């Protein structure tokens, strides 16, 4: 499965890639002071070392990546669905939401066990009436709790829309190449 390193201008894309289950490092979380050639060099070496695909809106950085043999996709769109669609053109993505990875911190998430109800009760944003009715997941890094709520369904609907758009694009390409 592909792994990504995402630059500072693409924060929302980071969360979405993690929700799709992709191991995604955000430049904001790993490099100190923003910007400059030192940060570019750091990102390139990290991408190379951890075999991550670099996603950036910075043309100069993308050109550097190409020179140093780092796989890179230059993003041009501003909205997250546009970016995912753009990315799918270069890297085939599995566009399915999955409870694998924390969208906040990238750590693995796991199912909450029956004997851990107390943890759910103590988390203020968990809808208490859903405890025992829904499955919950917990991040092993930051302890954030996840469940299939309305936010989850809204994202799934947007992904379904994206899948229809990208399959249409593939269809069009096939038509024009014939
Ligand atoms: Zn987390």
Counting the structural domains of the chain, the total is 2
79 with 142, same domain?
no
CA 138 to ligand 1 center in whole angstroms: 8
Domain CATH code at residue 43 = 3.40.50
Residue 95 placed within a domain:
no
What per-residue string of b and e applies to 117-130 under the rule 16 or more CB within 10 Å gives b?
Answer: eeebeeeeebeeee
Q: What phi and psi values does residue 123 have, to the nearest 5 degrees?
A: -95, 115
Using the structure block, give the residue that is written with the tokens 């994206």: 162
Residue 116 placed within a domain:
yes
Task: Give residue 135's domain range.
Answer: 109-147
Tell me the whole-structure pTM to 2 decimals.
Answer: 0.89
pLDDT at res. 175: 46
CA 152 to ligand 1 center in whole angstroms: 16
Residue 163 placed within a domain:
no
- Ranges of beta strands (E only) in 43-166 are 53-56, 72-74, 109-111, 136-139, 145-147
pLDDT at res. 72: 97
Torsion angle of C-alpha atoms 25, 27, 32, 37, degrees rounded to 10: 130
85 with 113, same domain?
no
CA 134 to ligand 1 center in whole angstroms: 20
Residue 81 placed within a domain:
yes
**pLDDT tens, the chain, 178 aa long:** 999 999 999 999 999 999 999 999 999 998 766 667 888 999 999 999 999 999 999 999 999 999 999 999 999 999 999 999 999 999 999 999 999 999 999 999 999 999 999 999 999 999 999 999 999 999 999 999 999 988 889 999 999 998 888 777 665 554 444 3
83 with 50, same domain?
yes
Name the pairing type of β-strands 109-111 and 145-147: unpaired
CA 50 to ligand 1 center in whole angstroms: 20
pLDDT at res. 170: 60
73 with 117, same domain?
no
Cα(178)–Cα(175) distance, rounded to whole angstroms?
A: 5
141 with 84, same domain?
no
53 with 127, same domain?
no
47 with 118, same domain?
no
- Ranges of beta strands (E only) in 18-176 are 24-26, 53-56, 72-74, 109-111, 136-139, 145-147
The DSSP bridge partners found for residue 53 are: 4
């Amino acid at each position: 499965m592909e792994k990504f390193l995402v630059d500072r201008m693409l924060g929302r894309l980071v969360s979405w890639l993690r929700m799709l289950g992709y191991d995604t490092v955000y430049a904001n979380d790993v490099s100190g002071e923003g910007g400059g050639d030192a940060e570019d060099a750091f990102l390139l070496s990290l991408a190379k070392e951890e075999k991550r695909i670099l996603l950036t809106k910075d043309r100069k950085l993308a050109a550097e990546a190409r020179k140093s043999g780092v796989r890179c996709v230059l993003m041009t769109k501003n909205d997250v669905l546009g970016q995912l669609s753009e990315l799918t053109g270069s890297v085939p993505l599995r566009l399915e939401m999955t409870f694998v990875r924390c969208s906040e911190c990238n750590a693995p998430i796991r199912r909450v066990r029956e004997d851990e109800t107390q943890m759910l009760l103590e988390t203020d944003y968990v809808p208490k009436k859903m405890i025992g009715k829904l499955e919950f997941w917990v991040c092993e890094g930051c302890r954030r709790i996840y469940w299939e709520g309305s936010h989850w369904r809204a994202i799934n609907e947007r992904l379904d829309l994206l899948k229809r758009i990208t399959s249409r694009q593939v269809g069009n390409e096939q038509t024009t190449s014939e």
